[in-house]
Amino acid sequence: MSVLVIAEHDNSALRPATLNAVTAAAQLGGEVHVLVAGSGCGAAAGAAATVAGVAKVRTADAPHYKEQLAENLAALVVSLASGYSHILAPATTFGKNFLPRVAALLDVAQISDIVSVVSADTFVRPIYAGNAMATVQSKDAIKVITVRTTAFDAAAAGGGGGAVEAVGAAADAGVSKLLGQELTKSDRPELTAARIIVSGGRGMGSGENFKLLEALADKLGAAIGASRAAVDAGFVPNDYQVGQTGKIVAPELYIAVGISGAIQHLAGMKDSKVIVAINKDMEAPIFQVADYGLVADLFQAVPELTAALDK
Amino acid sequence: MTTYIAPVRDMMFVLNELADLQEVGALPGCEEVNPELVESILDEAGKFASEIIAPLNASGDRQGSRLEKDGAVKSPEGFKQAYRKFVENGWGALSCPPEFGGQGLPQIVAKPVQEMWKAANLSFSLCPMLTQGAIEALVHHASPQLRETFLPKMVSGEWRGTMNLTEPQAGSDLAAVRSRAEPEGDHYRIYGMKIFITWGEQDLTGNIVHLVLARLPDAPEGVKGISLFVVPKFLVNPDGSLGRRNDLQCVSLEHKMGIHASPTAVMAYGDKEGAIGYLVGQPNRGLEYMFTMMNHARLAVGLEGLAISDRAYQQALNYAKERVQGRALTQPGAGRVTIIHHPDVRRMLMSMKSQVEAMRAVAYLTAGYMDQAARHPDKTERARYQGLVDFMTPVVKGWCTENSIEITSTGIQVHGGMGFIEETGACQHMRDARITTIYEGTTGIQANDLIGRKMARENGTTLKVLLEIMRADQAKVARVSDPDFNAIAASQNAGLDAVAECAEWVVKTYHQDPAQAAAVAVPFLMLIGTVCGGWQMGRAALVARERLAAQEGDESFHKAKIKTSRFYADHILPRAVAYRHAVVQGAEDALALEENQF
Amino acid sequence: MKVLVPVKRVVDYNVKVRVKADGTGVDIANVKMSMNPFDEIAVEEAMRLREAGTVTEIVAVSLGPTACQETLRTALAMGADRAILVETGVELQPLAVAKCLKALVARESPQLVILGKQAIDDDSNQTGQMLAALLGWPQGTFASKVKIAGGGAEVIREIDGGLETLSLQLPAIITTDLRLNEPRYVTLPNIMKAKKKPLDTVKPEDLGVDVTPRLATLKVEEPPKRKAGARVADVNELVQKLRNEAKVIS
């Protein structure tokens, strides 16, 4: 039996999430096939064929796949489903949107957002916003799965030599259409919505020195925050303040620079996924919550860090 | 800033198991009241308190209400919007009479909801609370025309009410009120200065309905010469729309120790042509009318003591669970721990928790008595319950508020040095709590009321009834063979003996030498409160034991209830013995010195 | 237009759940339960459509044990007109829920079903899409704006990296994202009224649906604990750890 991965792509190239899904698929046993459904999607299909571990790319090229509408995509996948033991897609808004339709039409359960493959029918997935991990076993003939991309490494792109095979398009459902897209421009993000935050404390010494953090933040696409001490000292405006009386944040990465870690500050950021502390005082309480602590002079370490990100 | 989470589980436990919600639900007019409805009301009110009102507590404290140049008052940021939502969602009308648009819910439902507003934001809660008092005064005493004009909008919350009693020379002694009212056609012209007017001027509502105590020209001296007037900020046109501005003005706001967001106004009436006011009820009976609201208002302030204690407890508990400091005494090698691992922090938290739960039970029980007194179909029963309400009201007011000073202080202590820092938020609770033992009658006044009107005047009859009930419940605790229950029963017994002895002493002494009795009235009040708390905690433990035996409900909650009751019995209830000593031995000591010896 | 709004009873979002010691699940006994926050948004959206004159009737549906009545009462107190409980003690998975809802759609003939995009307990994010597939209806998932006009729905969806706008024929399925609206607080008069609104109960058997679970939960565990306070020697080690261990930067 083979495994089918539904590619996320923009017709000309694969989206990186597809590569993580391929890695998960490869752990299931059996040949990995990738479906590239789109319009004028030959380039994306070609790219998929070069991904390590992909035996075959099936491509459905028709105008009504251009917009990746869930109704059409699901119908196509269902028409190709027989012969596959597993159907996977990345757990992105793309995969989450259409794959449950596939499962329902096949009358099988979907296993959402898996973070590891235990065996061909058993998977681990987070529940309760990641506060618990459930190991679930599917009793269905076909396992329909979305894959948490951060839990699987990306398969190597390029170098592989899978075959490309065209498949017939399913009918256009014609019940929905895309009117437009508006993709976010990447200025510096909002503090509360940022994936990464670089925050400075009294150790920054002055408002001028926050430029060091700006350079780092620009490199990371991060927002800039501050401790109350830094705000009170007038280094930065009020709306930078992270903490009990400021903003409560929980980014994926929080880099605390020159922040000692007063309890009010910790209350505002302790739910961050990964916390980095850079402080020259090795006794600073911030190190108690930091995943990675660097005891160093920030005026050396921050520029060094900014530079190291280019490598 | 830690937020406030309404303790719905403990509230429902008290209502269902201790305060007889079921029985109140059987009273006329309360047919809809059942545990499911009450729980959904508490859930939704709790959500509103946590998400809308509580977040304005600290910012309101920092900003305070401010007097603008033109005599207008600017409330702290967010208050206006929050108040509008409060009104839109109908919370102000919860216990108001249905004929004026209220929901007519009983006190046993209203009090837990009020506790939430008060815990979430004491300053905010005072605005609807005083409106409530003004509504009651008008409902019971005003003419149909005044009621029609003012009540529907006050009930909806569109307008709000204030209580104008105090004057610079007339604080606790209202007999000294000098504001005057001169008849003019169908209304009066009011002249005078009122102070300490909570939310006396504000920007939350379109109109403010002031209830003002003043004297008519021919009024007798003293308390029998005071009348009650409605004096609206804006006069009301016959069609109900707002007319011209009345001649009254906020001339100053007090700078206070706490409740900064609640504007405490100095109000000037009749600086120009005289403020137009309308007489409520009969002339010269104003104080009497005020007294009819007194039980509600005093119980409400008692509830403030409970509420702010719970808020302080939640704050301290959250901190204790997060703050890492020191190592565990028993496992010094095991690394640094959160401070809740330290025995003394545990003790402080238990002291806060057990007292909060005891106060809640006693306060809600009294709310249930109020409903029985107001709605019971049998006249004798109504009178019996009214006796209990009259007796318990000064106790709840005095005891809960005095406790709140101790508990909010303990809350600061749990925080250590950070507790003394304003940003942590623990200080505000103590500053806010501090007024509660003072307004609506100081603890001394409550205690005098208790020993005089509620004890000596009826030779302690109500307390004897209460003692009998408490003795019977103590006997049930004593029958359980279990070390926790044995300890609770023993401590209860000592407390009840103390009450019995002091009750006799107070009644006897009051008749012989009231000054002696008054000198120890406060310890006596605290004795009653402390022992009532122990009584209710014992009942709670019995219920918890039954539930555990039947394997019903929340096991961990019920086990904790028994241990919390035990803590109260060992750490708090023994204070009864010390109060007894002060009462029966200490009166002369308090009065022993000449003035010049101080 | 009639709209159906399924609402799920879940552990309140403020509660930090604990995994049971025996690994069979999370401990939800005596834990505060509330309406799934995304479903509150769905009810609110239905209310707004009614206030705009588009919707005439809102039917709230919940599936599960008797206690789900509380969740339905909340929906009624928020403003739904009536409620249906599909009562069962069986653990319900999204496919079974979608099938029950399909049967209710056949009975009620709504033009629109608005669902939360996912429930905060199992985090599946499936039911709306599955229902759409079973009905053969178009879907607008993760909606941040909904406009009903000219016999169709225009839905702005939150997608990775931005927004997209879809036009859907009616009847259709919409699933809500967080930014669609801010649910109103329940008013006291509406809590009182909710007690008097109709709440019907049916069983999955009455709907002809087999709700047997398809996925077996073998065990539930705590997530790996946070590693506290590891020190890195220098910037290079930090960057290496962030890239390869934490995988938070590329």
pLDDT at position C179: 80
Residues on A contacting B at a C-beta cutoff of 8 Å: 228, 244-245, 263-264, 266-267, 285, 288
Whether chain C has a CB inside 8 Å of the CB on A139: the answer is: yes
pLDDT confidence bin for B149, thresholds 50/70/90 = very high
Inter-chain contacts counted by CB atoms under 8 A, chains A and C? 225
Q: Return the axis-axis angle of helices B35-48 and C68-78, rounded to nearest 10°.
A: 60
**Chain A interface disruption, residue of B324, B327, B428, most A CBs within 10 A:** B324
Contact criterion met (CB < 8 Å) for C188 and B553: no
User: Is the bond preceding residue C171 a cis peptide, omega within 30 degrees?
Assistant: yes
pLDDT tens across C159-194, in order?
877 789 999 999 999 999 988 999 999 999 999 999
Chain C, nearest residue to B49 by Cα: C185
Catalytic member of B136, B201, B402, B440: B440
pLDDT confidence bin for B1, thresholds 50/70/90 = very low
How close C150 gets to chain B, by Cα (Å)?
A: 33
Lowest mean pLDDT among A33-47, A191-205, B4-18, B439-453: A191-205
CB A147 within 8 A of CB C140: no
Q: What is the mean pLDDT of residues A213-235?
A: 91
**Highest mean pLDDT of the ranges A156-160, B292-296, B496-500:** B496-500
CB A231 within 8 A of CB A241: yes
The tokens for A118 are: 């235990």
Distances from the Cα of C45 to the Cαs of A249, C98, C124, C184, in angstroms? 27, 20, 22, 10
Residue A99 has pLDDT above 90, yes or no: yes
CA atoms of C60 and B122, how far apart (whole Å)? 37
CA angle C96, C98, C103 (to 5 degrees): 100
How close C71 gets to chain B, by Cα (Å)?
A: 10
What SS3 class is residue C28?
coil
How close B91 gets to chain C, by Cα (Å)?
A: 6
CB A99 within 8 A of CB C127: no
pLDDT confidence bin for C14, thresholds 50/70/90 = confident
Contact criterion met (CB < 8 Å) for C188 and B90: yes
pLDDT at position A304: 95
How many Å separate Cα B543 from the centre of its chain? Answer: 26
Contact criterion met (CB < 8 Å) for B40 and C70: yes
Contact criterion met (CB < 8 Å) for B423 and A228: yes
pLDDT tens across C59-104, in order?
999 999 999 999 999 999 999 999 999 999 999 999 999 999 999 9
Whether chain A has a CB inside 8 Å of the CB on C96: the answer is: no
- For residue C187, give the nearest of B5, B89, B553 by CB distance: B89
Residue of B119, B154, B97 whose CA lies nearest to B48: B119
Top pLDDT among A244 and A213 is at: A213
pLDDT at position B108: 97
- For residue B1, give the nearest of A228, A244, A266 by CB distance: A244
Rounded to a whole number, what is the distance in angstroms from the first to the last CA of chain A?
Answer: 42
Q: What is the mean pLDDT of residues B339-356?
A: 97
CA atoms of A164 and A58, how far apart (whole Å)? 6
How close A59 gets to chain C, by Cα (Å)?
A: 23
Proportion of chain B above pLDDT 70, given as a percent: 100
Chain A, nearest residue to C19 by Cα: A132
CA atoms of C85 and C202, how far apart (whole Å)? 6
Residue type at B348 in one-letter notation: M
| Bridge partners, B230 (sequence order) | B211, B278
Contact criterion met (CB < 8 Å) for C77 and B40: yes
Q: What is the ipTM of this complex?
A: 0.91
In sequence order, what DSSP letters do the residues of B500-545 get, joined into one string? HHHHHHHHHHHHH-HHHHHHTHHHHHHHHHHHHHHHHHHHHHHHHH
Residue B2 has pLDDT above 60, yes or no: no
The tokens for B372 are: 């029985």
What SS3 class is residue A151?
helix
Q: What is the mean pLDDT of residues B336-352?
A: 95
Contact criterion met (CB < 8 Å) for A245 and B423: yes
- For residue A178, give the nearest of C162, C164, C172 by CB distance: C164
pLDDT at position A240: 86
Whether chain C has a CB inside 8 Å of the CB on A138: the answer is: yes
Proportion of chain A above pLDDT 70, given as a percent: 97
pLDDT confidence bin for C117, thresholds 50/70/90 = very high
Average confidence score pLDDT of chain B:
95
Q: What is the mean pLDDT of residues B252-261?
A: 97
Residue A66 has pLDDT above 90, yes or no: yes
CB C239 within 8 A of CB A308: yes
Task: Tell me which chains share at least 3 CB pairs under 8 Å with chain C.
Answer: A, B
Whether chain A has a CB inside 8 Å of the CB on B428: the answer is: no
Class of residue C242 by CB neighbours under 10 A (exposed 0-12, middle 13-18, buried 19+): buried
Domains of chain B, by residue range, sit at: 55-89+121-284, 450-593
pLDDT at position A185: 57
CB A5 within 8 A of CB A32: yes
pLDDT tens across C214-229, in order?
999 999 998 876 556 7
- For residue A291, give the nearest of C126, C214, C227 by CB distance: C227
Whether chain A has a CB inside 8 Å of the CB on C56: the answer is: no
Whether chain A has a CB inside 8 Å of the CB on B555: the answer is: no
pLDDT at position A192: 72
- C 144-173: CB under 8 A from A: 154, 157-169, 172
The tokens for A34 are: 């990738």
pLDDT at position A187: 66
Average confidence score pLDDT of chain C:
93
How close C38 gets to chain A, by Cα (Å)?
A: 14
pLDDT confidence bin for B295, thresholds 50/70/90 = confident
Contact criterion met (CB < 8 Å) for B91 and C186: no
pLDDT at position C162: 79
pLDDT at position B89: 95
Contact criterion met (CB < 8 Å) for A126 and C123: yes
- For residue B1, give the nearest of A228, A245, A285 by CB distance: A245
Contact criterion met (CB < 8 Å) for A244 and B418: no
Q: What is the mean pLDDT of residues B533-552?
A: 97
pLDDT at position A194: 81
- For residue C230, give the nearest of A150, A273, A293 by CB distance: A293
CA atoms of A158 and A212, how far apart (whole Å)? 38
Verify whether residue B440 is a known catalytic residue.
yes
In sequence order, what DSSP letters do the residues of B267-328 get, joined into one string? EEE-SSS-EEEEEESSTTBHHHHHHHHHHHHHHHHHHHHHHHHHHHHHHHHHHHHH-EEEE-
Chain B, nearest residue to A288 by Cα: B324
Q: What is the mean pLDDT of residues A285-291?
A: 89
Q: Mind spelling out the 3-state secondary structure of C111-125? A: CEEEEECCCCCCCCC
Chain C residues within an 8 Å CB radius of B555: 30
Mode of pairing for the β-strands spanning A196-200 and A223-226:
parallel
CB C168 within 8 A of CB C140: yes
Contact criterion met (CB < 8 Å) for C14 and B557: no
Residue A86 has pLDDT above 90, yes or no: yes
How close A261 gets to chain B, by Cα (Å)?
A: 12
Chain B, nearest residue to A289 by Cα: B324
Tokens 């006329």 belong to B28
Chain C, nearest residue to B110 by Cα: C188
Q: What are phi and psi of A133, to 5 degrees?
A: -120, 125
Contact criterion met (CB < 8 Å) for B93 and C14: no
| Bridge partners, B209 (sequence order) | B161, B232
**In this structure, what DSSP letter does residue C65 have?**
S
CB A21 within 8 A of CB A9: no
Chain B residues within an 8 Å CB radius of C29: 554
Whether chain B has a CB inside 8 Å of the CB on C67: the answer is: no
Chain A, nearest residue to C213 by Cα: A109
The architecture in CATH of the region B55-89+121-284 reads Beta Barrel (2.40)
Chain B residues within an 8 Å CB radius of C74: 40
Q: Where are the alpha helices (DSSP H) in chain A?
A: 16-26, 42-49, 70-80, 93-105, 210-220, 228-232, 263-269, 286-289, 298-308
pLDDT at position B229: 97
How close C240 gets to chain B, by Cα (Å)?
A: 29
CA atoms of B440 and A180, how far apart (whole Å)? 64
CB B113 within 8 A of CB B300: no
CA atoms of C90 and C109, how far apart (whole Å)? 26
Residue B435 has pLDDT above 90, yes or no: yes
Contact criterion met (CB < 8 Å) for B44 and C30: no
**Chain B interface disruption, residue of C192, C193, C196, C197, most B CBs within 10 A:** C192
Average confidence score pLDDT of chain A:
91
Chain C residues within an 8 Å CB radius of B36: 70, 73
pLDDT at position A249: 81
Residue of A45, A44, A39, A47 whose CA lies nearest to A72: A39
Contact criterion met (CB < 8 Å) for A263 and B322: yes
pLDDT confidence bin for B294, thresholds 50/70/90 = confident
Proportion of chain A above pLDDT 90, given as a percent: 70
Q: What is the mean pLDDT of residues B375-387?
A: 96
User: Model pTM?
Assistant: 0.87
